[in-house]
Structure 1
Amino acid sequence: MKARLPYIIGFVLLVAAEVCIGVFYFNFFIRAYIGDVIVVWVLYCLFRSFVPKKFSSYGVALGILAFSFAVEFLQKLRIADVLGIENQFLRIIIGTSYAAEDLLCYAAGTAVTILEIFIFRKLARRSSK
């Protein structure tokens, strides 16, 4: 549990940031792009909060990227409408509009995650010497 605590804290803080972005609508760039970058970090922290370390950190990051792309492509197919989802909260979670730019934001979020993993491992190796 101790090893997962940073991920739980990160998840809570990042979700709070996402809610603030959604509720207070800072500006178009932050809501449309930065929010999509952050959502990758939210998913990574959520996954790492529950899943043991035996899974590769890089693999988890790339898996979340694939999941994000799949959700975006399902939005292009208007999956919420196809499934007949009327609940507004679920429609927000699933998403109702496709944007190719979102794919770039997910890739950017994944790149930052991978860079963070790389740096953390380098620092951990350096401190263990």
Structure 2
Amino acid sequence: MLTFNKNYFGFAILLFSIEVLIALYINDRFVRPYLGDVLVVILVYCFLKSFLKLPVLTAAIAVLGFFFTIEFLQFLNIVEKLGLEKSKTARTVIGTSFSWIDLLTYIIGITIVLIIEQYWHKKQMIKNSK
């Protein structure tokens, strides 16, 4: 079950770098709030697949469940309930406001993952059959 996949890890590092650049230099109404959420789902998926040999669907559902849980905790105002409202790190990592649109961005991110994985799998099957 434990493994190291350099391709997934490389994609995770690339996506993490993009996320950092977005956080540091972009403060708009589309890229940071929406594209950033789409990319972070893909980032976490790639990071998970870097170290765990899981089926694509299992990993995708786990990542989507994780992000839905975080969003639900935002709905419950967990940062305030834990007394972390003054912690910039907690407010950034956990977030402070529930949004239905965030759930949609997570679904879009996982959909992108599934499409790419399906394409990659077909490409590998064609390559191996030659």
TM superposition score normalised by structure 2: 0.91
Query: CA-atom RMSD, angstroms?
Result: 1.6
* Aligned residues between the structures: 127
In the other structure, the counterpart of 1:119 is 119
Confirm or deny: 8 A CA contact 1:41 1:109 kept in the other structure: yes
CA distance in 2, matches of 1:12, 1:108: 20
Q: Pairwise mapping of residues 1-129 of structure 1 onto structure 2 (< 5 A)?
A: 4-51=5-52, 53=53, 55-85=54-84, 86-129=86-129
Confirm or deny: 8 A CA contact 2:19 2:39 kept in the other structure: yes
For structure 1, list consecutive stretches of 5 or more residues without a partner in the other structure: none
For structure 2, list consecutive stretches of 5 or more residues without a partner in the other structure: none
Aligned sequence identity (%):
33
TM superposition score normalised by structure 1: 0.92
Question: How far apart are residue 9 of structure 1 and its match?
Answer: 1.1
CA distance in 1, matches of 2:51, 2:94: 22
Residues 2/56 of structure 1: CA separation in 2 closer, same or farther (3 Å cut) = closer
The amino acid that maps onto 2:112 is V
Confirm or deny: 8 A CA contact 1:58 1:117 kept in the other structure: no
CA distance in 2, matches of 1:67, 1:56: 17
CA distance in 1, matches of 2:39, 2:17: 11
CA distance in 1, matches of 2:47, 2:100: 25
SS state at 2:30 partner: helix
Question: How far apart are residue 89 of structure 1 and its match?
Answer: 1.4
